[in-house]
Amino acid sequence: MMNMVKAKIMKNEEISPQIYEMIFLSKEIGEQGFPGKFVNLYCEDGRHLLPRPISICEIDKNNHTIRLIYAIVGEGTKQISHLRVGDKVKVLGPLGNGFTVEKGNGKNIVIGGGIGVPPLLELVKHLKGSTTVYLGFRCNPILIEEFKKYVDYVYVATEDGSYGHKGNVLELIKQHNPIGDRVYSCGPKPMLKAIGEWAKEQDLPAELSLEERMACGIGACLVCTCKTQGKEDWEYKRVCKDGPVFSRDEVIWE
Amino acid sequence: MMNMVKAKIMKNEEISPQIYEMIFLSKEIGEQGFPGKFVNLYCEDGRHLLPRPISICEIDKNNHTIRLIYAIVGEGTKQISHLRVGDKVKVLGPLGNGFTVEKGNGKNIVIGGGIGVPPLLELVKHLKGSTTVYLGFRCNPILIEEFKKYVDYVYVATEDGSYGHKGNVLELIKQHNPIGDRVYSCGPKPMLKAIGEWAKEQDLPAELSLEERMACGIGACLVCTCKTQGKEDWEYKRVCKDGPVFSRDEVIWE
Amino acid sequence: MMKPNMKVNIGGVELKNPVMPASGTFGSGREYGEFVDLNKLGAVVVKGISSTPWKGNPTPRVAETYGGMLNSVGLQNPGMEEFIEKDIPFLRSYDTKIIVNISGKTVEEYCAVAERLSSEDIDILELNISCPNVKEGGVTFGTDRRMVEHVTKEVKRYAKQPLIVKLSPNVTDIVEIAKAAVAGGADSLSLINTLIGMAIDIHKRKPVLANGIGGLSGPAVKPVAVRMVYQVAQAVEVPIIGMGGITTGEDAIEFILAGATAVAVGTANFMNPRATLDVVEEIEGYLQQYNIKNIKEIVKKVCI
Amino acid sequence: MMKPNMKVNIGGVELKNPVMPASGTFGSGREYGEFVDLNKLGAVVVKGISSTPWKGNPTPRVAETYGGMLNSVGLQNPGMEEFIEKDIPFLRSYDTKIIVNISGKTVEEYCAVAERLSSEDIDILELNISCPNVKEGGVTFGTDRRMVEHVTKEVKRYAKQPLIVKLSPNVTDIVEIAKAAVAGGADSLSLINTLIGMAIDIHKRKPVLANGIGGLSGPAVKPVAVRMVYQVAQAVEVPIIGMGGITTGEDAIEFILAGATAVAVGTANFMNPRATLDVVEEIEGYLQQYNIKNIKEIVKKVCI
Ligand SMILES: Cc1cc2nc3c(=O)[nH]c(=O)nc-3n(C[C@H](O)[C@H](O)[C@H](O)COP(=O)(O)OP(=O)(O)OC[C@H]3O[C@@H](n4cnc5c(N)ncnc54)[C@H](O)[C@@H]3O)c2cc1C
Ligand SMILES: Cc1cc2nc3c(=O)[nH]c(=O)nc-3n(C[C@H](O)[C@H](O)[C@H](O)COP(=O)(O)OP(=O)(O)OC[C@H]3O[C@@H](n4cnc5c(N)ncnc54)[C@H](O)[C@@H]3O)c2cc1C
Ligand SMILES: Cc1cc2nc3c(=O)[nH]c(=O)nc-3n(C[C@H](O)[C@H](O)[C@H](O)COP(=O)(O)O)c2cc1C
Ligand SMILES: Cc1cc2nc3c(=O)[nH]c(=O)nc-3n(C[C@H](O)[C@H](O)[C@H](O)COP(=O)(O)O)c2cc1C
Ligand code: FES
Ligand code: FES
């Protein structure tokens, strides 16, 4: 069940250069939220018509609040960053399929890159068994201490070397060569592709959360497709509705 | 000299149903303002591109503030009414020619209708000689006490009879048959047309402030024309630049 | 206050009100059905259907523009058999009319779809000869008056249901095209499809859409759409379904005054999932405000 | 940082930078001269000039639309004699190029204006065969390929200055029209003029414009304009002046990447009287950001 709400903003602050944290109040979205799902935020500035999809970073079911972390990359996210505490934001959600949280134990390898890191926070809170987290950033890492609250091992790579390993997260993983039962990942396309290939080599199942430009966000308009392996031939699936989380075998990388 | 400024809003309040008063700070516009001139306000909401022309109601040269009175009639004025004290509003002005304020004495007859009343307030402050003011409203008259501060005779007509004469302002004038040397008027087109004809019958010079839909507001685009009598033939003049104030003989009513 | 009569008639089919989604923006109604009671719409118009499955264009398929958007979906659809099997029973469970938008790469393909659908339980067919996002068929049929008449006439031979022809705005003379469709036997016309546009990412120095160009829709195009509906309404007798940038009931009234009997809501769904229903209610509000008892009283009632 | 080279060449005339106002939105530069140093513009393009004074259309002549506007000025102008007397000396006092937009009701009138101006001190002529707001001339010349070639060829016989032909977007095939203008001898093409649109006041139930229909301009039309510039640039060799919704330097870069050698700023002036100059500075900023030394390096450099 999706909800269209005008949600009260409890927080909307810059937490790192050009990175904002928003917390808004919504009982409905809070109750139905799930790791890997996302919401649509609407700018309502008259000029930008399409919603901005943002992943759920954390859900507080007791306080009915949803936390988002978003980067200012263009006009829409800039508009959204101007909203003040107490203002209402138009939100549609929760949307998408979310990650499959394994019921059983086992070893989880969770890999995030850049602005793909936030949705993994809610994920690790739900995972059973033991979890190792790898996070990659260009610079200015975020959320590291928070991940450490829930998992024992958090490894970080930064491209500028300001924190942890200097370089990208895949190098770090290949160095560590971690043993695990499954992989969860979210981040930029090239990283996901590499993670997918690595997981395949290791023969690990992997769930990858993709991004694509969207319009409706609910599966009706078919603009957000990604190439996947169908039964016989390849087919276009909808990132917003059939995803954003796909298994590594499904995705056909271009 | 026109100025494009981001002016700080000192006041923006509803003073009567659907009628707002805005006061903003601008030294430049304050210094060059003059009765009958107007300013362009920009909505800056992304969707409404064209400026909204609003007449100057009062100028406080000491405090560098400009006062406007405007009615909410559509989306643009509604947007503008949402601006808060301390916000900045984009303003271009002062624009247009303004009224000719006679240097000499004599009897001035000033006639306003509806949202055409506010610009006459700054005018009466500048007039020499004796001045009689006639104001017409549908209902909810505004600014009456303020006019009384500057002139001895203020007569009011309201269509619903809630204040003063019940009916329109022209009836009131025809009843009074005031004697004067010149007429100044601002209000809806049908009223101005009637005032123009009445002034002609009485053989009084009259200055009428017109309204027309505008784009540039400075005389460049030729969208705001009104039909006037030229030397030989009729011609279209620009309300924004050649007006908004025209003499009664110039205007050709349709 | 008494509810105004909102019923309108398209090619002999009575719709309970003049509002429907625009093809391609509403899937087959399943997704938006979570926000909108489909029983309350005049009709549901489904996305373009072809004889065999079409994959559509590569992604990205959408670019936001000032007050509008470009899409280059390219008529991705599962083909008529899957559509018939899955979507018709779903839609028939609602008390609304079903309008199926049909696509083809050749006149024969259009005819094949029309023929196959003629025995199915659907109410109206809409012939899309105006999609700018496919190389063959689509807009190439819709911009030449002889082709418009020809394809309409051919499809009409196979269609059992009334036929709407959907026109492209990317033409010099929309009236000529509209007349050609009517000459070919169209029972109704819908307009406008999208304007052809392009957006370039100046940092990557390449088009935002993988396909290069795409179709412009949304509020930005409304003045062009209203003008075309007006011009066509002056020239033909068949009912017109107006669309292009409708986001509110006020927008819909503009089209109706210009000459549209019914209206479709497209891009606005993406801005507001309840848009179709909001438009129904706002049209009703306008009629009540002016004490108009029957919506037909204002069709084409703009005074020039 | 070194200033990039912004010089461009239109039909043999060198402009110091690629930015000019769009005809009809800037008068003859006097009014906007209070906000913008005209010396800093590549050229000033004046409003459409005809042989005798034209009164234009009745008011209202403007309607605001979503992200755009409609105008129906109808080429009001004082005629060429008054223009020559009053405006040329004013403009010549600035260090910028003068482009005169010419209008006519007949081929003969266009030719008469071109002939009269050929002996005047102006740099370039722009032939407006695309105004949607006049009954005769204007858009009727601009939508038929044979007429476009014919009128261009005729005017070319009288014009001493290089000739730009300004194209209408209200056509099925912009490339065909562009090729016709070039075949007629156009030294450059400018596009787009306005799209034909309409807005209806639903409370008065009549068009907002006294003229009924008008020309749509502003950011709303940009995707259509960029697409047409792109298509035309792929097909002809002459320099293109791109316009339609440019409000920022980023918008201008989009047109330049699509294939425009220069750009014109129209409706944006009404939103921001400094718009032309802001666009100059923002283009410069973009070139510096990417360390591009000469603007010519990016003309038509969109990769598909
Ligand atoms: C399922 C999903 C989850 C996401 N989660 C997050 C998140 O948690 N935090 C975060 O910062 N960002 C997230 N993104 C990316 C975010 O949606 C874009 O950064 C944002 O839409 C950009 O909007 P803009 O107006 O600032 O940029 P502009 O470039 O001005 O936007 C123009 C258009 O392109 C679209 N667009 C631009 N970049 C992207 C992108 N990377 N992905 C999808 N659409 C894009 C916009 O939605 C808009 O329609 C997510 C995207 C998807 C699809
Ligand atoms: C010289 C001049 C002085 C004015 N002074 C005042 C004043 O002091 N107080 C006041 O309340 N109003 C004044 N007006 C009218 C005011 O400009 C309009 O009411 C306002 O622009 C409406 O904008 P909107 O977006 O709310 O309405 P909408 O109807 O949504 O506006 C749509 C478009 O029409 C134009 N428009 C609509 N109504 C008018 C109108 N009556 N005159 C001109 N353009 C219009 C708008 O500017 C806009 O471009 C003046 C108009 C002019 C020309
Ligand atoms: C994403 C998208 C997909 C579309 N797909 C179709 C289609 O399959 N068939 C069709 O006839 N029109 C299609 N259209 C055009 C719309 O039906 C409509 O004519 C157009 O978008 C104008 O209306 P709007 O401005 O309200 O969106 C599509 C439009 C969009 C935005
Ligand atoms: C008020 C107005 C008047 C115009 N007058 C003319 C004209 O006289 N001659 C002409 O060739 N184009 C004229 N145009 C068209 C513009 O030059 C330009 O082609 C069009 O507006 C698109 O650019 P824009 O979106 O930046 O405004 C006019 C446009 C507007 C808005
Ligand atoms: S965004 Fe519409 S189907 Fe995914
Ligand atoms: S509004 Fe442009 S000339 Fe008056």
Per-residue pLDDT of A40-50, as tens digits, reads 999 988 889 99
Give D176-215 pLDDT, tens digit per residue: 999 999 999 999 999 999 999 999 999 999 999 999 999 9
User: Does residue C210 sit within a domain?
Assistant: no
Maximum separation of any 2 CA atoms in chain B, in Å: 52
Give A125-173 pLDDT, tens digit per residue: 999 889 999 999 999 999 999 999 999 899 999 999 899 899 999 999 9
Residues whose CB is less than 8 angstroms from the CB of residue D163 and which lie 6 or more positions away in sequence, other chains included: D11, D114, D124, D125, D126, D127, D152, D155, D156, D185, D186, D187, D188
Q: Is D2 on the interface with C (CB under 8 A)?
A: no
CA dist B37 and B43 (Å) reads: 20
* CA-to-CA dists, residue B179 to B104, B120, D122, angstroms: 17, 19, 56
Q: What is the 3-state secondary structure (H, E, C) of C60-97?
A: CCEEEECCEEEECCCCCECCHHHHHHHHHHHHHCCCCE
Hey, is C174 helix, strand or coil? helix
Of residues C167, C160, C161, the one with CA closest to residue C141: C167
C190 is in an annotated binding site: no
The label of the residue with tokens 């043993």 reads A179
C246 pLDDT more than 70: yes
pLDDT of residue C141: 83
CA dist D104 and D107 (Å) reads: 7
Ligand 4 centroid to D91 CA: how many Å?
20
D80-86 LR contacts (CB < 8 Å, sep 24+): D80/D49, D80/D50, D80/D51, D80/D113, D80/D116, D80/D117, D82/D53, D83/D28, D83/D46, D83/D49, D84/D116, D84/D117, D84/D120, D86/D28
A118 pLDDT more than 60: yes
Q: Which residues of D156-182 are buried (b: 16+ CB within 10 A; e: fewer)?
A: bebbebbbbbbbbbbbbebeebbbbbb
pLDDT of residue B236: 94
Give B58-96 pLDDT, tens digit per residue: 999 999 999 999 999 999 999 999 999 999 999 999 999
CA dist A45 and A90 (Å) reads: 12
How far apart are the two ends of chain C, measured CA to CA in Å?
31
| pLDDT band at residue B2 under the 50/70/90 scheme | confident
For chain C, percent of residues with pLDDT exceeding 70? 97
pLDDT of residue A73: 95
A231 pLDDT more than 70: yes
What's the full length of chain A, in residues? Answer: 254
Q: Is there a cis peptide before residue C53, judged by omega within 30 degrees of 0?
A: no
For residue A10 the two structure tokens come to 């409890």
> What is the strand order of the sheet B52-55 is part of?
B52-55, B38-41, B88-95, B3-16, B19-25, B65-71, B58-60
Total number of domains in chain C: 1
Look at A2 and C217; give whichever has higher pLDDT: C217
B189 pLDDT more than 80: yes
- Interface touch D200/C245, C-beta < 8 Å: no
pLDDT of residue A204: 93
Judged by its nearest atom, the ligand closest to the C-alpha of residue C269 is 3
Residues whose CB is less than 8 angstroms from the CB of residue C193 and which lie 6 or more positions away in sequence, other chains included: C128, C130, C131, C132, C139, C142, C166, C167, C168, C169, C215
C138 pLDDT more than 70: no
Question: Cα A110 from chain centroid?
Answer: 12
CATH number at D79 reads: 3.20.20.70
Give B4-15 pLDDT, tens digit per residue: 999 999 999 999
For chain B, percent of residues with pLDDT exceeding 70? 100
pLDDT of residue A103: 77
CA dist C72 and C211 (Å) reads: 7
- Interface touch C55/A215, C-beta < 8 Å: no
Cβ contacts of C60 on chain A, cutoff 8 Å? 212-213, 223
Whether residue C213 contacts residue C200, with contact meaning beta carbons closer than 8 Å, is answered with no
User: Does residue C63 sit within a domain?
Assistant: no
A:C CB pairs within 8 Å: 99
For chain D, percent of residues with pLDDT exceeding 70? 97
The label of the residue with tokens 């020499």 reads B128
C229 pLDDT more than 70: yes
Ligand 6 atom closest to the CA of B240, numbered from 1? 4
pLDDT of residue D133: 64
Is there an atom of ligand 1 within 6 Å of A67 CB? Answer: no
Give D11-31 pLDDT, tens digit per residue: 999 999 999 999 999 999 999
CA dist D189 and D232 (Å) reads: 9
Of residues B244, B105, B187, the one with CA closest to residue B198: B187
The label of the residue with tokens 């707002």 reads B20
D41 pLDDT more than 90: yes
Cβ contacts of D60 on chain B, cutoff 8 Å? 212-213, 223
Is there an atom of ligand 6 within 6 Å of B220 CB? Answer: yes
Look up the domain containing D84 and give its range: 8-56+75-195+217-298
| pLDDT band at residue D304 under the 50/70/90 scheme | confident
Q: Which residues of B146-177 are buried (b: 16+ CB within 10 A; e: fewer)?
A: ebeebbeebbbbbeeeeebbeebbbebbeeee
Of residues D156, D15, D129, D33, the one with CA closest to residue D87: D33
Q: Is B160 on the interface with A (CB under 8 A)?
A: no
User: Does residue D204 sit within a domain?
Assistant: no
- Interface touch A220/C269, C-beta < 8 Å: yes
CA dist C196 and C217 (Å) reads: 9
Instruction: Centre a 10 Å sphere on the Cβ of residue A246 and count the other Cβ atoms it contains.
Output: 21
CA dist A213 and C252 (Å) reads: 29
Q: What is the mean pLDDT of chain D?
A: 95
Ligand 2 centroid to B89 CA: how many Å?
17
Where along chain B do its domains lie? Answer: 3-93, 108-208, 210-253
Q: How far is A44 from chain B (nearest CA, A)?
A: 9
Burial class (CB in 10 A: 0-12, 13-18, 19+), D140: middle
Ligand 2 atom closest to the CA of B240, numbered from 1? 1
User: Does residue D208 sit within a domain?
Assistant: no
CA dist C94 and D34 (Å) reads: 63
Judged by its nearest atom, the ligand closest to the C-alpha of residue D275 is 4
Instruction: Centre a 10 Å sphere on the Cβ of residue C133 and count the other Cβ atoms it contains.
Output: 25
CA dist B183 and B162 (Å) reads: 26
CA dist B193 and A249 (Å) reads: 78
The label of the residue with tokens 């784009």 reads B215
D142, D145, D148, D152: CA torsion to nearest 10:
160
> Mean of the pLDDT values across residues A210-237?
94
Whether residue A34 contacts residue A125, with contact meaning beta carbons closer than 8 Å, is answered with no
For residue B254 the two structure tokens come to 């349709």
Q: Is there a cis peptide before residue D4, judged by omega within 30 degrees of 0?
A: no
Give D232-278 pLDDT, tens digit per residue: 999 999 999 999 999 999 999 999 999 999 999 999 999 999 999 99
pLDDT of residue B129: 87
Q: What are phi and psi of D133, to 5 degrees?
A: -105, 10
D125 pLDDT more than 80: yes
Give C270-300 pLDDT, tens digit per residue: 999 999 999 999 999 999 999 999 999 999 9
Considering the domain B108-208 in this protein, what is its CATH number? 3.40.50.80
Whether residue C51 contacts residue C109, with contact meaning beta carbons closer than 8 Å, is answered with yes
Q: For residue B47, give the nearest of D58, D67, D274 by CB distance.
A: D67
CA dist A147 and A58 (Å) reads: 12
Q: Considering Cα of C179, then C185, then C188, then C193, what sign does the dihedral take?
A: negative
Amino acid identity of residue C277, one-letter, is L
Q: Which residues of D88-103 are buried (b: 16+ CB within 10 A; e: fewer)?
A: beebeebebbbbbbbb
pLDDT of residue B103: 77
D303 is catalytic: no
| pLDDT band at residue C135 under the 50/70/90 scheme | low
Residues whose CB is less than 8 angstroms from the CB of residue B93 and which lie 6 or more positions away in sequence, other chains included: B2, B3, B29, B33, B37, B38, B39, B40, B56, B66
Cβ contacts of D303 on chain C, cutoff 8 Å? 205-206
Give C167-180 pLDDT, tens digit per residue: 999 999 999 999 99
Give C25-71 pLDDT, tens digit per residue: 999 999 999 999 999 999 999 999 999 999 999 999 999 999 999 99
* CA-to-CA dists, residue D99 to A174, A210, D15, D102, D133, angstroms: 64, 51, 11, 10, 21
| pLDDT band at residue D137 under the 50/70/90 scheme | low
D246, B43, C250, C197: CA torsion to nearest 10:
10
C266 is in an annotated binding site: yes
State the best of D200, D208, D267, D271 to mutate against chain C, taking most chain C CBs within 10 Å: D200
C245 pLDDT more than 90: yes
Amino acid identity of residue C110, one-letter, is Y
Considering the domain B210-253 in this protein, what is its CATH number? 2.10.240.10
User: Does residue D102 sit within a domain?
Assistant: yes
Residue to substitute in C23, C241, C272 for testing ligand 3 pocket (most ligand atoms within 8 angstroms of CB): C23
Ligand 4 atom closest to the CA of D193, numbered from 1? 19
Give D71-104 pLDDT, tens digit per residue: 999 999 999 999 999 999 999 999 999 999 999 9
CA dist A224 and A239 (Å) reads: 6
The CATH number, out of the four listed (3.40.50.150, 2.40.30.10, 1.50.10.20, 3.40.120.10), of the domain defined by the range B3-93:
2.40.30.10
Nearest CA to ligand 3 atom 28: C24
